[in-house]
């Protein structure tokens, strides 16, 4: 459901007549029609209606970029830099980056890129994830999941919880030899290493 539809639902739920509705639009955005507004301005209208009691029906994450953002958020959680893995926490992060309330309203690739790039930059800065790509890299290390797992291993190695040279053996024991790993194969590895990192951080 897009922001235009949400605004109309809110208008009906709040029982606003035409004059009151238009007055809210002008007060919040300076525009009397939602058709003339940017997506960010429509989101401001939605927020205003929420402040006045509008209660949208909560659904699971939706939108063309939702799964990618959710996956990156869980990656950051498995790196130990996100403390709250819930979708609500991710949505707050997305809103700070894009000023858009929910992934179902995140339809512009440029807006989505702001959130994606911010998440990846955070992971690079705080967890030393190396996102660089090159034909010189082995095929398995070009997978984003592999890059996350390598960074996780390095975090644990710096804490002296794993053998710095033991990454390949760990992956092979848990999944398969690294040279045979595909993107989907890295999820259980990242989850296992994430659990170890959270245990270390918990003290």
pLDDT at 43 (0 to 100): 92
Q: Residue 175 has which token pair?
A: 């999944």
pLDDT at 58 (0 to 100): 53
Q: How confident is the model at residue 131 (pLDDT cuts 50, 70, 90)?
A: very high
Q: How far is CA 136 from CA 37, 133, 143, 171, in A?
A: 47, 8, 14, 22
pLDDT in tens, 148-168: 999 999 999 999 999 999 999
pLDDT in tens, 24-36: 999 999 999 999 9
Judge whether residue 60 has pLDDT over 70. no
CB neighbour burial string for 34-59, b if at least 16 within 10 angstroms, e if fewer: beebebebbbbbbebbeeeebeeeee
The pLDDT > 70 percentage for the chain reads: 95
Q: Residue 131 has which token pair?
A: 């996102």
Q: Residue 98 has which token pair?
A: 């894009």
Q: How confident is the model at residue 3 (pLDDT cuts 50, 70, 90)?
A: confident
Give the mean model confidence (pLDDT) for residues 82-97. 90
Quote the DSSP letter at residue 185. Answer: G
Q: How confident is the model at residue 182 (pLDDT cuts 50, 70, 90)?
A: very high
pLDDT at 24 (0 to 100): 93
pLDDT at 52 (0 to 100): 75
pLDDT at 198 (0 to 100): 92
Judge whether residue 125 has pLDDT over 80. yes
Question: At which residue do the structure tokens 């209606």 appear?
Answer: 49
Give the mean model confidence (pLDDT) for residues 169-175. 94
Q: Give the torsion through C-alpha atoms of 43, 47, 53, 54, to 10 deg.
A: 20
- CA 111 to chain CA centroid, Å, is 12
Query: What is the spatial distance between Cα 183 and Cα 123, in angstroms, rounded to a whole number?
Result: 18
Judge whether residue 59 has pLDDT over 70. no
Give the mean model confidence (pLDDT) for residues 128-151. 95
pLDDT at 111 (0 to 100): 83
pLDDT in tens, 41-58: 999 999 888 877 676 655
Helix segments in the chain, DSSP class H? 3-14, 18-29, 39-51, 66-78, 87-98, 109-127, 144-158, 167-174, 186-202
Q: What is the mean pLDDT of the chain?
A: 90
Cα radius of gyration rounded to whole Å, the chain = 22
Query: What is the spatial distance between Cα 25 and Cα 44, in angstroms, rounded to a whole number?
Result: 9
């Amino acid at each position: 459901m897009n922001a235009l539809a949400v605004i109309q639902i809110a208008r009906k739920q709040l029982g606003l007549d035409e004059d009151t509705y238009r007055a809210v639009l002008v007060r919040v955005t300076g525009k009397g029609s939602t058709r003339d507004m940017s997506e960010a301005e429509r989101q401001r209208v939605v927020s205003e209606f929420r402040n006045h009691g509008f209660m949208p029906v909560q659904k699971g994450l939706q939108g063309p970029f939702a799964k990618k953002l959710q996956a990156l958020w869980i990656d950051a959680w498995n790196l130990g830099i996100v403390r709250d893995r819930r979708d609500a926490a991710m949505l707050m992060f997305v809103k700070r980056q894009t000023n858009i309330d929910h992934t179902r309203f995140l339809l512009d690739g440029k807006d989505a890129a702001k959130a994606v790039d911010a998440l990846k930059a955070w992971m690079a800065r705080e967890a030393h994830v190396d996102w660089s790509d090159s034909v010189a890299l082995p095929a398995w290390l070009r997978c984003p999941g592999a890059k996350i797992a390598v960074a996780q291993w390095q975090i644990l190695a710096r804490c002296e919880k794993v053998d710095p040279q033991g990454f390949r053996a760990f992956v092979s024991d848990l999944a398969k030899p690294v040279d045979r790993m595909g993107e989907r194969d890295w999820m259980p590895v990242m989850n296992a290493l994430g659990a170890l990192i959270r245990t270390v951080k918990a003290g």
